[in-house]
Amino acid sequence: MRPAFGKILGRADDPHVHCRLPACRAHLRPGPILTEMAAAVTLSRGTLPSPLPLRHNRIMTESPLSLPDFDWPALEPGWVWLCGAGPGDPGLLTLHALNGLRQADVVVYDALVGERILDWARPDADLVYAGKRGGKPSAKQADISLRLVELARAGKRVLRLKGGDPFVFGRGGEEAQTLIRNGVNLRIVPGISAGIGGLAYAGIPVTHRDINQAVTFVTGHDQTGGTPRNLDWQALARGAGVLVFYMGMKHAAKIRDGLIGAGRPADDPVAVVSQATTPGQRVLETTLAAMVEDIAAAGMEPPAIICVGRAVLMRQVLDWQGLMRGEPPRDPDPLGHDRPAPET
């Protein structure tokens, strides 16, 4: 690292330096050197590598949202709230999460937390980027957990903001264990998980009494980034009528092969929902056999949810965003219940 630039990064919370950082960033290009420089000031300064300008001195451009009358809990000094930010749409943030944003001295947030949500933090709050997106630079999980402990012991009011729900493939349980082992008080604030809310925005109900009595949520990769070794493909293929895979895009071929090899029908409907609940949301409808080729042909990118099962058919009638655009349902009876029996 160049010493002069290292000093600038190390003083990112200095208002005289902060105002100059955006101009510097305009001339930088992502790469190993920049990643290493950012990592060098990660935990020692309490600020992890960030794609967003630090906001210690940001100016609110709109009136803060007001909360309805309620006995709202206080985020006390030395406490950490582990909070879900929902799948992407800022309007899906819970009121408890918004209450926490209004009080926190420090917000430690993941890559999938949108900038608009961060705009609702206190104007003087420190925003700390933790990464946590597959294939992208991130702090180590153990370092993040210990940093939360350090901040709490320093008397900070800490909001740990995670995409979706912190306890649904969000490693919130690990962070909570570390906090409890170190005597830090905490509150868990659930969020809307992408496997439910994201599919709802695509017009796909994860449960429908004419289709399934169970739904299975599956992680598409393990701690090393590979396909989970202990997945029981036989149980998945023959179990719940609807399967929802998180973080499965990298291993879509293994998911396809594992399910079909265990007896799941090759023509089972599949939906891939990318950038769920955001303006950039895209939905691909395909089949289990064709999904890998169709994902590549459509240029679908993570973050994405993969839904397998006949619930995907309901999108033909429940695509409410299409209805808002004036598009009629493609099939008002996708399950065929009201169709006359074929003549014999």
Active-site residue flag, 132: yes
Annotate the chain with three-state secondary structure: CCHHHHHHHHCCCCHHHHCCHHHHHCCCCCCHHHHHHHHHCHHHHCCCCCCCCCCCCCCCCCCCCCCCCCCCCCCCCCEEEEEECECCCHHHCCHHHHHHHHHCCEEEECCCCCHHHHCCCCCCCEEEECCCCCCCCCCCHHHHHHHHHHHHHCCCCEEEEECECCCCCCCHHHHHHHHHHCCCEEEEECCCCHHHHHHHHCCCCCCECCCECCEEEEECCCCCCCCCCCCCHHHHHHCCCEEEEECCHHHHHHHHHHHHHCCCCCCCEEEEEECCCCCCCEEEEEECCCHHHHHHHHCCCCCEEEEECHHHHHHHHHCHHHHHCCCCCCCCCCCCCCCCCCCC
Of 132, 156, 162, 254, catalytic: 132
CA dihedral 41, 44, 45, 48 (to 10 degrees): 60
Of 89, 247, 249, 254, catalytic: 247
Q: How far is CA 18 from the centre of its chain?
A: 28
Residue 102, amino acid: R
Both tokens of residue 290?
Answer: 């064709």
User: Do 174 and 79 meet the contact criterion of CB atoms below 8 Å apart?
Assistant: no
Q: How many whole angstroms separate alpha carbon 317 and alpha carbon 328?
A: 8
Say how many CA atoms lie within 13 Å of 27 toward its Cβ: 5
Its sign, for the CA torsion 46, 49, 55, 61, is negative
Kindly list the catalytic residues: 110, 132, 247
